[in-house]
Structure 1
Amino acid sequence: MHTFDTIRPFYDSEVNKAIHSIIDDPMLQAMMMFTFPDDRNQDWKRQMLHTHSLRDFQINFIYPGLKKVLEKSSDGLSYSGFENLEPNTAYLFISNHRDIILDTSLLNGCLYENGLVLTTSAIGDNLVKKPFLNTLSKLNRNFTIERGAQGRRLLESSIQVSSYIRNSLIHENRSVWTAQREGRSKDGNDLTQKGVLKMLTLSHLGKNPFDAFKEIKVVPVSISYEYDPTDILKLPELLAKARDEKYIKSENEDFLNLLRGIMGTKKHIHIHVSGVINDEIEEINQKEINLSEKFAELSLLIDHKIWKGYKLWPSKYIAFDLLNETDRYSDRYNAEEKEAFLQRFKEKVQTEDPVTRENFLAMYANPVKNKESIQMINQP
């Protein structure tokens, strides 16, 4: 499949050579010292040099690293819904997106612990420009999405990605993770972009694009962090948008977000998979509405599945009450939890600036607002 060579992860036959190319990189050394702090003899290096498959690399090195990250920077990971998925079955996981690396790593950790097919996962090419990160990404079974493409090149790139996803799901029986939108949600308001859904159908040439979903198993995923480790790093872009200003990323911004996401404080984390939604997709497809309206309904369906599955930690309720100057959800948190959130809030934010204050709190409060909207729809 040479048409995928510019975006695909390594084949197993390429793994060992790739490992040899980075084995002495200081960044890899630091990662493994963190992952295996008691390994004084660098046994990890000997094992890695004898690794010849992506799965072995992920299970023997990435998974232990993930467990160490959770141990050092969280109060634990919980999950739900995985019992409804089938072994040896490929799924298209469409997820809300908070953290560059952890979202997919956490999902794969849950899939591994439940004996399910691991994913190949989308990542923006802007995040893997450094040679070491590019190699590590391919070893972790990531495929790249070209950011910044326009016009004809954007269409070509989108068709290539769509074809790669379809090939992975149908011909390789490999699950795929993709975010519900381009890039992470900065404001906590998780909305599915129709463009992402349309991209998924581009490989279904010559047929009704919506029929493309019949051949794959679409599963919405909700990822909930009690504390967003990159919350303060997301604020400048939110503030620029609030002030109708153009936001320009700093040179190392993506890398700083990557590091903060891994090691920053998260407290509790929960992942929920909603189950396959193919029946609901087929209901939409049978409606006598135009294609644009079908994609709009599918976007809303995925939104609602993600919002419903999102676990609302005390931090979300506290932020909602502070933002709206109410005590509506005061029974969902205690005084200690509120004080801890306020301390974090005051340390990170210029609380006297109303725009900064509002944007920071909304980042945490929007999931509560979204779940409220679902409950209102479902009321008799």
Structure 2
Amino acid sequence: MGASAIVAEAWQTFPRPETLYVDFVKPAMPALQDDPEYGKIPYRAQVNIEVILDASGSMKETIGGKTKLALAKEAVETLVRSLPKEANVALRAFGHRPQPTKEASCRFSELLYPFGSYAADRFAAALGEIEAAGWTPLAYSIERAGEDFRPYQGEGYTNIVVIVSDGAETCGGDPLKAAEALKGSAIQPFFHIIGFDVDAEGKKQLSALAERVGGIYRDARNLAEIQAEFDRLTRWSEGWEAWRKEAMRDLGKQRMKMIERLDEMEKEWHSASDRLEIIDFKILNALRHEEKISLSIESYLREKELYPTDGIMDYWRTHYRPLLQRQIDQNFMTLEEEIERLTREQATKQRP
């Protein structure tokens, strides 16, 4: 074998850096496989959930010794307390303050807890302001909810409207039209509607509303059934955190694989550099037999070493390995940042 062929063979033994990299594939966004309705709701940067609570006069009726309103308030409190701390929650009520006329009651819907993270004392105080008293301006309340969600428009938000009501609109509005308009806006909310001990007319309207906007309608006859519906929302909200943890865990595993590969590559470089000592001898021997160098030059070059292995490994340790390590760290920091971006945005977008 000629000297040039020996040189080419020698350098082919050093692993190239592109053999180091392993593609990292983020796990798919979670879906509640046992809940096809909630499973189709996308996970986005910020989750905003507004509860619209019916406090019309009929919510004074009792079930098991408690008013329907008291039971609904208890279920709502349990829901918001169980949501991830990163979620934005809001509470709107209608019919909860006596008004001098029906017309005034039909134009009264109040945002008692503006969007923000759950604070137990403030939310309890907001619920404490709600007493069953008035009419049912459901359409107007949905329109006002659109104003509440206005800061949260676009693809960065998952917006959910939860309505708990025991009856149909009583103020002449069109809840289906209002919900359809809100659904078609940039807010794009998902509707979860609970008919609480609802009459036939109320069930017909509320279920039609859910169907019109592709949401969920469920009957609830007691506290346990309301809470069962709210549990679906809680499980969905926890899906994002589970995904984030899984993604970060997989990312860590992939990074460890690449560090292990880097260690293997260092061993391969060391072995390859050792082989160069043998190659060094072969090259000089070939050149001597090809009569391209004299015996004295061959002896001189053997003393100088064509490929000093110590120098090669010094270069690996001081330049090449640090360069590859920085590239690994940078690549995985970028992936980590992509995973954490949603959580960070949740924290920074707590309020408009």
Could you say which TM-score interval applies, normalised by the shorter chain? under 0.3
Question: Bigger radius of gyration, 1 or 2?
Answer: 2
Higher relative contact order (Cα pairs below 8 Å, separated by 6+ residues):
2
TM-score normalised by the chain length of structure 1 = 0.25
TM-score normalised by the chain length of structure 2 = 0.26
